């Protein structure tokens, strides 16, 4: 056990509310009759379907392939028949639809042949990354970034430390806590593989001090396999929100700051979530692709709160009815935690790779009120973990002065919600920042598109000009040629006339 | 008296030379104002402003020959941006040119296309692909939605389809605006 080295500014100490969902062990959600699988459950390009409607698929069979570099494969979570490949509502703050594959399960849950590799050192680092990509593994902490990319430091970077994130700082969520308590060995398997793929010795597993059971479970597992994990240690850090955020965690553990617009790899650090680590272990050693995840279902309106190993694509209402919620139909609930999650209105939406928590009913929820004017108290700036000036950003976002928001480093905002939480005027600050961010990105996209259109139009005009000139040139040439032949003809005729004249002359003489 | 006149004359001469030299030495190619205006226009090249493309329109604005409210695809935001740039009062869109519409995309109904190439000739950004007596198709990424390909089509096989929002291009609604609608409801 080592001590944390640093800290970050701001942050909040929140009431964890985690006990509600940790008193029972992880349970399996019953198999759903239909599974809806969005083709984009990760950051990057959506996967491309490789099955047709009517195809029979087995559990763990690939149903969509990665498209482009930043993308992963998608698998059938259970055996059954593909009934549709069409647009369906997905869990997204917009409430919009996207392409999904729907599977009607046959309740046999028949696995495809799995390729086990108990001794992963037979594989090269490249093979491991490839397998992780083929297993569809993405960051399960919530962001959903393809994990194989983070395991590829490239030739220009040297990785010094692998950080395993078991912090889970957001209130209510306990899926990482439970996986550490119950599947510590599986997490260590994943860590071993990642250390091998990254060629890194040092590894720290970071856990907040409000999870004593998880800490002792991990310590026990580590002790049992001490010979393999000599340079691995557990760091216990004080509970503070948002320590679970990658950059803040690195700051706490190492005292180093990830540069703005930079990546942890720039300072020699790679960070993975405990759930991801477990999934990597299952994928490489047991050959199981990512077809399920652990979802916390909790909140004041949930009768049997807890953690549920749920197949991807399971409609949320099945999970909610399994836990017996007192939720009224159409009552909105939160996907994610109370700080960073977003409201969903429909419960027919599927569980995706990034769905870590379903929260129905929050303790002492204040009634939503109209925001009052900003009084410039500065509490938001004190709470901000990335040292931004939320109130300045608020003014500029509000007046849509996007250039200024950028100057004030809007894109460094991690949307943790600390500023909105402390605001005495209850201004939805993060909402303003998200608005300004998407607005800026759309504007950039539009400018880019306009630039291409301008270029294409100019090229077209140029081409037309060139064609016109060519045509004129051809016409001129033809005219010249015509004139030349005409002249030649005339000359020949004149010569002929001359010749005949001279011959008559000769005759005359 | 004489010295003063002399001094001022010499000074005028020197400054004149200096200015003359500077205007040659630091000459700016092209028309920077027209360039700046062109940057703000949406580049649909639709000609609704009555000029043959965005560039000619921006030159006309720069020369004071056209008003800033003649661009329907750009709409209110473009007018506002132009007004800010030129430091003039923003005004509503000229109805003569058209109305602000949601973004659209040309789609060729391929069953009906006879391969006449007329739309290819009309497209200002070369976004239609095809050859004589071969089916044509629109490159969706390049289409600006200018509608110039619609009238020439002899079989009326081009539809303007509203571009659908997807989760990747979706924007968070303006919170200030959301609050207003809440107030309206209450």
- Delimit the domains of chain A by residue range: 19-335, 398-477
The CA distance from A49 to the nearest CA of chain B, in Å, is 18
CA closest to A372 among chain B residues: B179
- Give the residue numbers in A contacting B (CB under 8 Å), as ranges: 40, 90, 92-94, 96, 98, 370-371, 398, 400, 428, 431-432, 434-435, 437-439, 442, 445-446, 449-454, 456-460
For residues B21-33, give the mean pLDDT.
83
Closest partner CB to A98 (pick from B44, B124, B166): B166
Secondary structure element (H or E) that encloses residue A101, with its range: strand A97-105
Q: Is B72 on the interface with A (CB under 8 A)?
A: no
Contacts of B36 in chain A (CB under 8 A): none
Closest partner CB to B53 (pick from A90, A370, A457): A457
Residue B43 and residue A370: Cβ atoms within 8 Å?
A: no
For the domain B102-165, what is the CATH code?
3.30.70.20
d(CA A424, CA A380): 9
List of residues 6+ apart from A207 with CB closer than 8 A: A166, A167, A180, A214, A215, A218, A234, A235, A236, A237
**pLDDT, position A504:** 64
Q: Where are the domains of chain B?
A: 32-86, 102-165
Residues in chain A: 509
Contacts of B175 in chain A (CB under 8 A): 428, 431-432, 435
CA closest to A434 among chain B residues: B172
* Percent of the residues in chain B that have a pLDDT greater than 70, as a whole number: 94
Residue A454 and residue B54: Cβ atoms within 8 Å?
A: yes
Per-residue pLDDT of chain A (509 residues; tens, 9 = 90+): 566 778 899 999 998 889 999 999 999 999 999 999 999 999 999 999 999 999 999 999 999 999 999 999 999 999 999 999 999 999 999 888 999 999 999 999 999 999 998 899 999 999 999 999 999 999 998 889 999 999 998 888 889 999 999 999 999 999 999 999 999 999 999 999 999 999 998 999 999 999 999 999 999 999 999 888 888 999 999 999 999 999 999 999 999 999 988 899 999 999 999 999 999 999 999 999 999 999 999 998 898 999 999 999 999 999 999 988 888 877 889 999 999 999 887 888 999 999 999 999 887 766 777 889 999 999 999 999 999 999 999 999 998 888 899 999 999 999 999 999 999 999 999 999 999 999 999 989 989 999 999 999 999 999 999 999 999 999 999 999 999 999 999 888 888 888 877 766 666 55
Q: Is B174 on the interface with A (CB under 8 A)?
A: yes
Is CATH 3.20.20.80 what the domain over A19-335 is classified as, yes or no?
Answer: no
The CA distance from B165 to the nearest CA of chain A, in Å, is 8
- Is the pTM here over 0.90, yes or no? no
Q: Which residue has the higher pLDDT, A147 or B94?
A: A147
**pLDDT, position A315:** 95
Contacts of B181 in chain A (CB under 8 A): none
d(CA A399, CA A401): 5
Q: Is B69 on the interface with A (CB under 8 A)?
A: no
Whether residue B184 is predicted with pLDDT greater than 60 in this model: the reply is no
Peptide bond into A242 cis (omega under 30): yes
Q: How far is CA A91 from the centre of its chain?
A: 14
- DSSP E strand stretches across A269-375: 269-273, 292-298, 306-311, 333-335, 342-344, 357-359
The CA distance from A22 to the nearest CA of chain B, in Å, is 34
Residue A453 and residue B170: Cβ atoms within 8 Å?
A: no
CA closest to A43 among chain B residues: B168
Sheet holding A62-65, edge to edge: A48-49, A62-65, A74-75
d(CA B15, CA B10): 9
Contacts of A442 in chain B (CB under 8 A): 169, 171
Contacts of A457 in chain B (CB under 8 A): 43, 45, 53-55, 124-125
- Of 1.20.1300.10, 1.10.15.40, 3.40.50.1860, 1.10.3210.10, the CATH number of B32-86 is 1.10.15.40
CA closest to B167 among chain A residues: A96
Closest to B172 (Cα-Cα) out of A415, A333, A330: A415
Tens of pLDDT, residue by residue over B73-91, are: 988 888 988 998 888 888 8
Of the pLDDT bands very low, low, confident and very high (cuts 50, 70, 90), residue B183 is: very low
The CA distance from B34 to the nearest CA of chain A, in Å, is 14
d(CA A489, CA A93): 83
For residues B64-72, give the mean pLDDT.
90
Range of lowest pLDDT (A424-433, A486-495, B38-47, B173-182): B173-182
């Amino acid at each position: 056990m080592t001590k944390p080295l640093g800290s970050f500014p701001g942050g909040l100490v929140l009431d964890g509310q985690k006990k509600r969902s940790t008193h029972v062990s992880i349970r399996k959600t019953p198999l759903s009759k239909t599974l809806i699988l969005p083709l984009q459950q990760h950051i990057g390009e959506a996967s491309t379907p490789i099955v047709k409607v009517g195809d029979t698929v087995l559990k763990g069979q690939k149903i969509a392939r990665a498209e482009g570099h930043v993308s992963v494969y998608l698998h059938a979570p259970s055996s059954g028949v593909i009934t549709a490949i069409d647009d369906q509502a997905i869990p997204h703050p917009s409430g919009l639809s996207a392409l999904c594959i729907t599977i009607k399960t046959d309740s046999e849950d028949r696995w495809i042949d799995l390729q086990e590799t108990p001794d992963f050192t037979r594989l090269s680092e490249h093979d491991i990354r490839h397998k992780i990509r083929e297993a569809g593994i993405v960051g399960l902490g919530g962001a959903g970034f393809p994990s194989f990319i983070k395991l590829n430091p490239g030739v220009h970077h040297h990785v010094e430390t692998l950080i395993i994130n078991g912090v889970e700082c957001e209130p209510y969520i306990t899926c990482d806590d439970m996986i550490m308590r119950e599947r510590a060995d599986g997490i260590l398997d994943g860590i071993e593989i990642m250390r091998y793929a990254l060629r890194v010795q040092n590894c720290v597993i970071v856990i907040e001090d409000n999870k004593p059971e998880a800490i002792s479970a991990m310590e026990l597992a580590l002790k049992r396999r001490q010979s393999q994990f000599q340079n691995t240690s557990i760091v216990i850090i004080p509970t503070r929100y948002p320590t679970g955020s990658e950059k803040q965690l690195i700051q706490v553990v190492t005292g180093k700051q990830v540069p703005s617009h930079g990546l942890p790899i720039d300072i020699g650090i790679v960070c993975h979530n405990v759930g991801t680590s477990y999934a990597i272990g299952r994928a490489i050693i047991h050959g199981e692709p990512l077809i399920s995840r652990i979802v916390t279902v909790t909140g004041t309106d949930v009768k049997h709160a807890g953690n549920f190993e749920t197949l991807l694509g399971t409609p949320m209402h099945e999970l909610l009815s399994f836990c017996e919620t007192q939720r009224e139909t159409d009552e909105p609930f939160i996907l994610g935690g109370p700080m960073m999650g977003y409201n969903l209105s429909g419960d027919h939406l599927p569980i995706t790779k990034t769905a870590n928590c379903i929260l129905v009913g929050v303790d002492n929820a204040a009634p939503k009120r109209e925001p009052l004017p900003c009084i410039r108290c500065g509490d938001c700036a004190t709470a901000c973990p990335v040292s931004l000036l939320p109130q300045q950003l608020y003014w500029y976002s509000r007046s849509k002065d996007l250039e200024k928001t950028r100057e004030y480093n809007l894109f460094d905002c991690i949307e943790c919600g600390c500023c909105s939480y402390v605001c005495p005027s209850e201004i939805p600050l993060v909402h303003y920042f998200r608005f300004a961010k998407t607005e800026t990105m759309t504007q950039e996209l539009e400018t880019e598109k306009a630039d291409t259109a301008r270029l294409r139009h100019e090229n077209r005009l140029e081409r037309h000009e060139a064609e016109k000139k060519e045509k004129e040139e051809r016409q001129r040439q033809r005219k010249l040629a015509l004139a030349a032949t005409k002249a030649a003809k005339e000359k020949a005729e004149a010569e002929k006339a001359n010749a005949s004249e001279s011959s008559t002359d000769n005759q005359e003489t | 008296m004489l010295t003063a006149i002399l001094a001022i004359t010499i000074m005028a001469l020197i400054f004149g030379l200096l200015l003359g030299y500077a205007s040659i030495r630091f000459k700016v190619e092209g028309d920077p104002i027209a360039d700046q205006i062109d940057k703000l226009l949406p580049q649909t090249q639709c000609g609704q402003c009555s000029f043959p493309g965005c560039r000619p329109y921006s030159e006309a604005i720069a020369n004071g020959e056209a008003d800033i409210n003649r661009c329907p695809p750009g709409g209110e935001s473009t007018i506002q941006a132009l007004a800010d740039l030129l430091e003039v009062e923003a005004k509503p869109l000229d109805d003569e040119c058209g109305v602000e519409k949601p973004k659209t995309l040309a789609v060729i109904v391929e069953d009906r296309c006879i391969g006449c190439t007329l739309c290819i000739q009309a497209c200002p950004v070369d976004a239609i692909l095809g050859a004589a007596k071969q089916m044509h198709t629109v490159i969706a990424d390049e289409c600006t939605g200018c509608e110039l390909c619609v009238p020439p089509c002899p079989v009326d096989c081009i539809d303007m389809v509203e571009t659908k929002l997807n989760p990747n291009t979706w924007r968070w609604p303006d919170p200030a605006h959301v609050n207003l609608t809440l107030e309206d409801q209450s």
